[in-house]
Amino acid sequence: MSPPGGKVLLRTGPGVRPHVRRGQLLLSAQPFVYVLKSDGLRVRCSYCLEKRDHLHRCSGCQVMYFCDRECQKRAWSEFHRSECARLKKVSPRLPPDTALLLARLIVKLRNGGDRISDRITDTRHRSFKDLMSHYRDIKATPRRMEHVAALTVVLRSFLGPDNFPNDSELAGMYGRVCVNGFNILDGEMLPVATGIYLSASIIDHSCQPNAAATFNGRTLSIRATEPIPDFTWEKVRISYIDTMADTETRRRELRNGYFFDCDCVRCSAAAAAPGSAPGGGGGGAAAGLERALRCGSADCPATVPLPPDGAAPRCPRCRYQDYPADIGAEFDEIARLTRTYAQDNTVYYDFCLRLLQRQEAAMLHPLNVYRVKTLDLTLEAAISTDMWERCLELGSKLEDGYRTFYGPCSPLTGIFYLKVGKIALYRFQHALAARWLRRAAAVLRVTHGSDHPVYAEQLAPLLQQLSAETAGRERGDELGEGGD
Ligand SMILES: [Zn+2]
Ligand SMILES: [Zn+2]
Ligand SMILES: [Zn+2]
Ligand SMILES: [Zn+2]
């Protein structure tokens, strides 16, 4: 076996359990294999994944693009040497992303990749075969087996029959890729590539995680987003899915995608008391908001649970009960519509507004998960249609929702603050911009670190622009040049 790669950032072992502080880097890793999503082929470098205005096309396959000779050379030695001629042969028909990733994996394992491992601690490391394959689960899922069969056909013609893995080997590789694959995200937290990171694949999931993954190009970093006393790797949890979703959706995605039933604090709280009022922390807060209505009395701050058994809701505090007669059925329909919209790639602003109005009529609690999700979809739609003032309004309404469902210190919350702050700055709303951007700074320092490009190249210049503009304005005021 080759010596394990990667640096151990944290000393752990028998009797050594460090206190991990919020923002501490737990792991930094390079992918074992990865592939750029095909929709980014012409705009991003296939090696470092950076978006560039000018990329150089590989003269061999004429399919992949690279920043420069350096990226091309590295790609050539890591994965492109074996595929360039094959890509040229099948061009313009390219293998699907998963097939290309598996092709790279097959070639890598064949050429000694099976002996490569990544360090987790001084004594623990992981190689590709240590990854969970969920072979039986894959075998038992017809949809998955159909996918494997289709990929086998593509891969056989792409790679040729020599040294081609047998059916169960290929199903094992496919399982490991599906269950352990990371979406490699860009600065806006949108997926640009898929990759396997050997060391990071030990980290389990929680719908209320204490750590988060961020990417700088193809480099994965895992940072603690909460303090972790008496650190062990078993205590670290990241989220594999979108946590701004109801329990049913989260559990379905985890079962279908990762073959397990989540028993995290949030899922357990939801299972123990569906429709209960939100409690303090410990997962109860987000779980209890799933069926939460607001109270109709003026000034009553209570959260009113919609009973799951069809009984009429009633405010536990002031006994308000004047809810629409069909509230149960209407709530189910709102939940269904929100889930459908959340899966759609394009959501129209008008659809969102209508759904928000319906949620208002059904008296959903402002932090109800369906309401927050709809507000988030509305923000996306408003951004894509340049409705900037509306974006700022939606940003303020969404703030508590982000903190509740993603956590006060998650990369998604930080990027959300940054996005709204940037809009406020471009609308010359300096006080508002300052509030949002400072929050973004506090979160992104923890989730990304201050040397990450999102912080250093996006946030920092906005903060500078803000202080320059506000200083300029103050000077203007002094000189009596008039305000805005
Ligand atoms: Zn090529
Ligand atoms: Zn590059
Ligand atoms: Zn969960
Ligand atoms: Zn009340």
Per-residue pLDDT of the chain (484 residues), as tens digits, is 677 777 777 877 777 888 999 999 999 999 999 999 999 999 999 999 999 999 999 999 999 999 999 999 999 999 999 999 999 999 889 999 999 999 999 999 999 999 999 988 888 889 999 999 999 999 999 999 999 999 999 999 999 988 899 999 999 999 999 999 999 999 999 999 999 999 999 999 999 999 999 999 999 999 999 999 999 999 999 999 999 999 999 999 999 999 999 999 999 988 876 555 444 445 667 878 999 999 999 899 999 999 988 899 999 999 999 999 999 999 999 999 999 999 887 778 999 999 999 999 999 999 999 999 999 999 999 999 999 999 999 999 999 999 999 999 999 999 999 999 999 999 999 999 999 999 999 999 999 999 999 999 999 999 999 999 998 777 666 555 444 4
66 in Cβ contact with 58 (< 8 Å): yes
448 in Cβ contact with 454 (< 8 Å): yes
Q: Which of 341, 333, 395, 377 is nearest to 358 (CA)?
A: 333
Give the number of whichever ligand sits closest to the CA of residue 56.
Answer: 2
Give the number of whichever ligand sits closest to the CA of residue 61.
Answer: 1
Q: Which residue has the tokens 């737990």?
A: 26
d(CA 121, CA 479): 62
The alpha carbon of 244 and the centre of ligand 4 are apart by a number of angstroms equal to 26
pTM confidence score:
0.92
- Three-state SS string over the chain comes to CCCCECCCCCCCECCECCCECCCCEEEEECCCEEEECHHHCCCECCCCCCECCCCEECCCCCCCEECCHHHHHHHHHHHHCCCHHHHHHHCCCCCCHHHHHHHHHHHHHHCCHHHCEEECCCCCEEEHHHCCCCHHHHHCCHHHHHHHHHHHHHHHHHHCCCCCCCHHHHHHHHHHHHHHEEEEECCCCCEEEEEECCCHHHCEECCCCCEEEEEECCEEEEEECCCECCCCHHHCEECCCCCCCCHHHHHHHHHHHHCCCCCCHHHHHHHHCCCCCCCCCCCHHHHHCCCEEECCCCCCCCEEECCCCCCCCCCCCCCCCCCCCCHHHHHHHHHHHHHHHHHCCCCCHHHHHHHHHHHHHCCECCCCHHHHHHHHHHHHHHHHCCCHHHHHHHHHHHHHHHHHHCCCCCHHHHHHHHHHHHHHHHCCCHHHHHHHHHHHHHHHHHHCCCCCHHHHHHHHHHHHHHHHHHHHHHHHHHCCCCCC
48 in Cβ contact with 218 (< 8 Å): yes
The alpha carbon of 320 and the centre of ligand 4 are apart by a number of angstroms equal to 5
The alpha carbon of 375 and the centre of ligand 4 are apart by a number of angstroms equal to 24
d(CA 375, CA 359): 11
Q: Residue 133 carries which side chain, given as an amino acid letter?
A: S
How many CB atoms are closer than 10 A to CB 207?
27
Q: What is the pLDDT of residue 484?
A: 44
Give the number of whichever ligand sits closest to the CA of residue 205.
Answer: 3
Q: What is the dihedral of CA 324, 329, 333, 334, to 10 degrees?
A: 40
Give the number of whichever ligand sits closest to the CA of residue 300.
Answer: 4
Give the number of whichever ligand sits closest to the CA of residue 293.
Answer: 4
The b-or-e profile of 26-63 (16+ CB within 10 A means b, else e) is: bbbbbbbbbbbbeebeeebbbbbbbeeeebeebebbeb
Give the number of whichever ligand sits closest to the CA of residue 266.
Answer: 3
The alpha carbon of 249 and the centre of ligand 4 are apart by a number of angstroms equal to 30
233 in Cβ contact with 18 (< 8 Å): no
Q: Which of 299, 186, 207, 214 is nearest to 254 (CA)?
A: 207
Q: What is the pLDDT of residue 476?
A: 63
The alpha carbon of 461 and the centre of ligand 2 are apart by a number of angstroms equal to 24
